[in-house]
Chains A and B, each alone.
Chain A
Amino acid sequence: MNVEAGKKALRFQFAPIVDKLGYKFNPAEEDVEFLLEAEVTFQRQYGIPYCPCQARTRDRAENMKIVCPCIPFHREHYDAMKRCWCGLFVHKDVTDPSALKQIPPSKFVKRKE
């Protein structure tokens, strides 16, 4: 499968999942293309579309928490940002994704306390 077909397959696979979680693909199409291309590469290398902006380690259980779409594992954090960490997905009500900021996980924990 070539990269374009891989990206199309991931879009098809992810769209109904994130829809049920209250998210949609980021309207910034160029960003989505970049991120999906990275995920297609991971899928080819490891068989798994990991998040392009979070690190894999030797801890398999932790790695499973960054398999795209990783929203269920970071629900409160991502809901607070109205986007996932890499920005592939945003809340359904978002029209201007450029206004959304990444909140570091450590600062999010502090906000919760």
Chain B
Amino acid sequence: MKKIKIYALSTCLWCKRTKKFFEDRKISFEAVDYDKADEAEQERIMAEMRGKGGGGSFPYVCIGEEVVQGYDPDEFERLLGCGKK
């Protein structure tokens, strides 16, 4: 199973839907709420996102080595190699 990491904002509707997508499929993931993190962690997250061509738009989902920015269930399913639920 590919490692899944989600950078989110606690205020973001699409971040909540992204987490729910994985929860509904009982796929474990690591999630960090950027706005709840300390300043050093925020800078690290932003540097990582910018390093991979993303800005400050959330959600930001790493599935294995691939990155999906935004809520995109079709792309999540494609990268996970699973069908629609």
Task: List residues of A whose CB falls within 8 A of some B CB.
Answer: 31, 34-35, 38, 41-42, 52-57, 62, 66, 85-87, 101-106
Contacts and interface: CB of A to CB of B under 8 A. Distances in A.
A53 B58 contact: yes
B13 A34 contact: yes
Contacts of A41: 11
Contacts of B11: 38, 41-42, 52-53
Number of contact residues on B: which range applies? 20 to 34
Given A34-B13, A105-B69, 18 more contacts: A31-B13, A38-B11, A42-B11, A52-B11, A53-B9, A53-B14, A53-B57, A53-B58, A55-B46, A55-B57, A56-B35, A56-B56, A57-B42, A57-B46, A62-B56, A66-B56, A104-B57, A106-B55
Given A104-B54, A105-B55, A52 B13 contact: yes
Q: Which label, helix, strand, loop or mixed, suits the secondary structure of the A interface?
A: loop
Given A57-B56, A104-B54, A52 B12 contact: yes
